[in-house]
């Protein structure tokens, strides 16, 4: 049963990874330029400017620094409560490596400054590290990674179905809000954020195969 479940996770991770590679190819060939531009323009037209501050909050909660804090909390909890070392703690750094390689070598300039709507005067130090390009979104890949890991643990160990549904709703809403905020704030294109979803999901599901 365990081997069968692991096989499902491996297959899902392979499919997601292949989709990520295919999307990366399309991005490198500039196939999605019009879609990216149109999506940003439409989102910024539809969402009132008063949402700038609310959506800017998502730029802070998924930074590299905050992600390390979440990683420490989650896996300290797992180590103390279940007496096990979860491979996802290492997989998280695979995401960072792939993200860095994409932003260095896949030609895909980020949105121009005219789209930028981040409203806070504060930024974490990692925000000042600039790479050549913008694909994939690190905020989105880290967010999806943590959401999948957390929902897996909730499904496995939380017995109350109402509480499970509530937690799932909160975290899925967080994921959708993060997706929208990256584009609306002019931080990333639609393709960047989509790549982040696929990258984070593939690495998270691969990690779950070793639970």
pLDDT number for residue 128: 62
The arithmetic mean of pLDDT across residues 138-166, rounded, is 93
Residues with Cβ within 8 Å of 188's Cβ and at least 6 positions away in sequence, in order, are 110, 111, 134, 137, 139, 140, 182, 196
Q: Which of 123, 116, 113, 130 is nearest to 182 (CA)?
A: 116
Do 188 and 182 contact (CB within 8 A), yes or no?
Answer: yes
Bond before 179 cis per omega within 30 degrees: no
pLDDT (tens digit per residue) in 57-102: 888 888 878 888 888 888 787 777 765 666 777 888 999 999 999 9
Q: How far apart are CA 74 and CA 76, in angstroms?
A: 6
Place of tokens 């959506």: 55
pTM (2 d.p.): 0.91
Work out the average pLDDT over 158-170. 94
Average pLDDT for residues 171-194, to the nearest whole number?
Answer: 96
- Residue 24, pLDDT above cutoff 90: yes
Task: Report whether 17 contacts 195 (CB < 8 A).
Answer: no
Cα–Cα distance between 136 and 191 in angstroms, integer?
Answer: 8
Which tokens in the block code for residue 11?
């297959």
Q: Which residue, among 203, 63, 194, 59, has the nearest Cα to 136 in the 3D structure?
A: 194
């Amino acid at each position: 049963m365990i081997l069968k479940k692991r096989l499902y996770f491996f297959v899902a991770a392979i499919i997601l990874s292949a989709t990520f590679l295919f999307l990366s190819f399309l991005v490198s060939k500039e196939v999605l330029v019009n879609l990216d531009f149109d999506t940003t323009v439409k989102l910024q037209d539809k969402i009132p400017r008063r949402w700038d501050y609310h959506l800017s909050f998502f730029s802070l909660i998924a930074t590299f620094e905050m992600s390390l804090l979440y990683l420490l909390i989650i896996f300290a909890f797992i180590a103390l409560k279940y007496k096990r070392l979860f491979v996802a703690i290492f997989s998280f750094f695979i995401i960072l490596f792939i993200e860095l390689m994409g932003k260095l070598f896949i030609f895909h300039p980020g949105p121009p400054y005219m789209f930028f709507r981040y409203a806070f005067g504060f930024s974490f130090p990692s925000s000042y590290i600039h790479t050549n390009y913008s694909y994939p979104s690190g905020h989105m890949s880290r967010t999806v990674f943590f959401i999948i890991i957390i929902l897996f643990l909730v499904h496995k160990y939380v017995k109350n179905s109402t509480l499970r549904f509530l937690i799932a709703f909160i975290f899925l809403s967080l994921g959708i809000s993060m997706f929208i905020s990256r584009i609306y704030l002019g931080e990333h294109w639609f393709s960047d954020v989509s790549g982040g979803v696929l990258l984070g999901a593939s690495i998270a599901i691969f990690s779950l195969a070793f639970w």
